[in-house]
Amino acid sequence: MATATAPAKSMPQIVALCKRRGFVFPASEIYGGINGFWDFGPLGTQLKNNLRDAWWRDMVHSPPSGPDGQPLEIVGLDSSIIQNPRVWEASGHVSGFSDPMADCRACKARFRADDLIGVELIFPDVPEPNKRNFLICGVGTPEEVLETNTKKIQKLQGANGPYERLSSHHVFSELNEEGRAEFSCPNCGEKGHLTEPREFKLMFETYVGAVRDEESKTYLRPETAQGIFLNYKNVLDTMRVKLPFGIAQIGKAFRNEVTPRNFIYRSREFEQMEMEWFCRPADAPKWFAFWQERRLTWWRSMGLGAENLRVRPHGADELSHYARGGSGTVDIEYRFPFTDPDFAELEGIAHRTDFDLKAHQTQAGIKLEYFDQEHNARYLPHVVEPAAGLTRGVLAVLCEAYTPDPARPSKVYMRFHPKLAPIQAAVFPLVAKDGMPEVAGKLYRELRGRFTCRLDIKQSIGKRYARMDEAGTPYCFTVDGQTLSDQSVTVRHRDTAAQERIGIDHVTDFLAQRIKG
Ligand code: GAP
């Protein structure tokens, strides 16, 4: 089965499996797709719902205990995607939520300015005075840039011999004008046609009502968080909560990303799982540290490998407008196959201070202060926000689960944590005769009320196991000739492909013990 040194995970192969097995499809595929939008198929939807439900359970139904051992209080919310446009003026999104973008004047291609990378190469065998540095240009990590320019590099090697790699640069932040002039467009290859970066607004605009004018213009929410701030007072007035407490929300967010890429990693429509933790300002640093540790532990409990996760503090130049002046922001990062050996953001944890409540208090002219009976004081609470991507979380779970195994007929299996697996159990009759389908059907009907379960009758048993390996089903139960005489079935374990026999009466308990909610 899986070899000691695991083969590298290939993103194109993961994307192909997602399509083949019904996890993720390109949106509007029969019309040629639409860049930055994806549809979740039957297995992907169930996987996403399982991850979403696990988050909700661990945040709202059964929040963790705080540093003092007392259970925390977190309540749920489901706010509107479209809100009054003044919300987005107050939140700073209308004026500040944009990405710098650069265009190629030659081919009109558009790039996120901070994605554009130049990697410098030098050819040591070239004698002076002809020796010079070459700039290899592209989008992505330096490794991706070199990979997409293989042909060009081979040509240079043919003429100049082996090369040495020097530093890589972000085009706009690190290269001077001379360096930038050397930059050839990653799309058309023309040199020196890149415009200076301009701010590109990320919020999708829409109009409410019959008239399309400035008055009726509003936005699709770019984060779920603002709905929480808008309802903070409603929750205070109705739920008898006291500081510190949290409000959690899961839902869609929309960003007109300049360059959606890496499958569902950066899309234009995605889901977030956000929790705003309201606390006394003086306690915010303590909670900021607490939530970092909790969220990292949670992602591990979803099956993500500790070696593929890390916490990275933001530099001062990276802080979002709402987090300046707080104790900081960190990203929980995952090592995706397309960033490996580097990592990329999975969740952000920010100390948002009282930025949002203060902004809405001013804009709406409504007092949002909290009366702290214990300290006999009125103030705006501070907020610590763990903001996770559900869509991005599904991608991390898919990448982690993808396990190449040349020894299997399927050559790959999806090693999901059993509680996340979209199909938790499959039931097969060994052959479709001799009363086996009837017994298998009865077992299936017993299981399906408690577990996500499939009954598969047709094709060879090997093909059925292979299909379940690609779906990531942790346990397959097969009814065979022996079942009819001794009431036992085989259980096949996905990760080892090992089989054992258990009594058919014990299947429910067997699953319940292994698939904990
Ligand atoms: N309320 C704070 C906030 O929205 P963010 O870091 O912009 O912070 C939080 O977003 C999370 O949402 C990110 O860590 C990421 O997982 C997810 N996310 C953001 N933009 C995304 C996109 N274009 N596609 C998929 N997920 C995205």
pLDDT of residue 266: 97
Q: How confident is the model at residue 422 (pLDDT cuts 50, 70, 90)?
A: very high
Distance between Cα 266 and ligand 1 center (Å):
8
> What pLDDT score was predicted for residue 5?
63
pLDDT at 380: 98
Q: Confirm or reject: Cβ of 347 under 6 Å from ligand 1.
A: yes
Q: Which of 223, 261, 309 to mutate to test the pocket of ligand 1 (most atoms within 8 A of CB)?
A: 223
- Residue 427 and residue 445 in one domain: yes
Task: Note the pLDDT of residue 464.
Answer: 97
Quick check: 436 pLDDT over 80? yes
In a domain, 190, yes or no: yes
Structural domain boundaries, residue 299: 17-87+206-400
Nearest atom of ligand 1 to the alpha carbon of 390: 16
**Same domain as 501, residue 442:** yes
387 Cβ inside 6 Å of ligand 1:
yes
The verdict on 48 and 172 lying in the same domain is: no
Are residue 194 and residue 223 in the same domain, yes or no? no
127 and 251 fall within a common domain: no
pLDDT at position 99 over 90: no
Same domain? For 240 and 321 the reply is yes
Q: What is the pLDDT of residues 129-159, one digit of tens each?
A: 888 889 999 988 888 889 889 998 999 999 9
Q: What separation in Å is there between the alpha carbon of 99 and the centre of ligand 1?
A: 14
Q: What residues contact 234, with CB distance under 8 A and at least 6 apart?
A: none
Q: Is residue 226 part of a domain?
A: yes
Q: Are residues 236 and 322 in the same domain?
A: yes
267 lines ligand 1 (CB under 6 A): yes
Q: How far is the CA of 388 from the centre of ligand 1 (A)?
A: 7
Give CA–CA dist 506/178, Å, rounded: 73
pLDDT for 142: 86
* 288 and 372 belong to one structural domain: yes
pLDDT, tens digit, for every residue of 211-242? 999 999 999 999 999 999 999 999 999 999 99
> Are residues 81 and 21 part of one domain?
yes
Rounded to an integer, what distance in angstroms lies between the CA atom of residue 384 and that of residue 404?
39
Q: For a ligand 1 pocket test, name from 48, 88, 270 the mutation site with the most ligand atoms within 8 angstroms of its C-beta.
A: 270
Chain centroid to Cα 393, Å, comes to: 3
Domain of residue 475, CATH code? 3.40.50.800
**Atom 20 (ligand 1) nearest CA:** 266
Whether 112 has a pLDDT exceeding 70, the answer reads: yes
User: For the residues 27-53, what does the mean pLDDT come to?
Assistant: 98
What is the mean predicted confidence (pLDDT) over 258-272?
A: 95
How far apart are the CA of 410 and the centre of ligand 1, in A?
Answer: 34
Residue 1 pLDDT exceeds 90: no
Q: Are strands 98-103 and 198-201 parallel, antiparallel or unpaired?
A: antiparallel
pLDDT digits (tens, 9 = 90+) for 153-172: 999 999 999 999 988 888 88
Look at residue 114 in the predicted model and tell me its pLDDT.
85
Q: What is the pLDDT of residue 6?
A: 67
Measured from the Cα of 274, ligand 1's closest atom is: 1
Q: Is 271 in the pocket of ligand 1 (CB under 6 A)?
A: no
* pLDDT for the residue numbered 42: 98
Average pLDDT value for residue range 4-17: 85
To the nearest 10°, report the CA torsion of 308, 310, 316, 317: 10
Query: Residue 172's pLDDT is what?
Result: 87
Q: What is the share, in percent, of the chain residues with pLDDT greater than 70?
A: 98
The DSSP-derived string for 431-442 is: SS-TTHHHHHHH
Distance from residue 105's CA to the centre of ligand 1 (Å): 31
248 and 304 inside one domain:
yes
- The H-or-E segment that residue 172 falls in is helix 171-174
**Is pLDDT at 4 greater than 70 in this prediction?**
no
| Residue 3 falls inside a structural domain | no
Q: Are residues 196 and 210 in the same domain?
A: no
- DSSP track, 253-316: EE---SS-BTTTTB-SEEEEEEEEEEE-GGGHHHHHHHHHHHHHHHHHHTT--GGGEEEEEPPG
* Average pLDDT along the chain: 94
Distance 264 CA to ligand 1 centre (A): 12
351 Cβ below 6 A of ligand 1: no
**Cα dihedral 286, 287, 292, 295 in deg (nearest 10):** 150
Domain co-membership, 277 together with 392: yes
What distance in angstroms lies between residue 429's CA and the mean position of ligand 1's atoms?
A: 45
Q: Per the structure, how many domains does the chain have?
A: 3
Binding site membership of 221 for ligand 1 (Cβ less than 6 Å): no
Band of residue 3 on the pLDDT scale cut at 50, 70, 90: very low
328: left (phi over 0), alpha (psi -120 to 50) or beta: left
Model confidence at 36: pLDDT above 70: yes
Confidence at residue 2, expressed as pLDDT on a 0 to 100 scale: 43
pLDDT of residue 7: 67
How sure is the predictor about 259, in pLDDT bands with cuts at 50, 70 and 90?
confident
Of residues 250 and 261, more confidence is placed in 250
pLDDT, one tens digit per residue, over 297-354 is: 999 999 999 999 999 999 887 877 777 777 789 999 999 999 999 999 999 999 999 9
Structural domain ending residue among the three candidates 200, 224, 241: 200
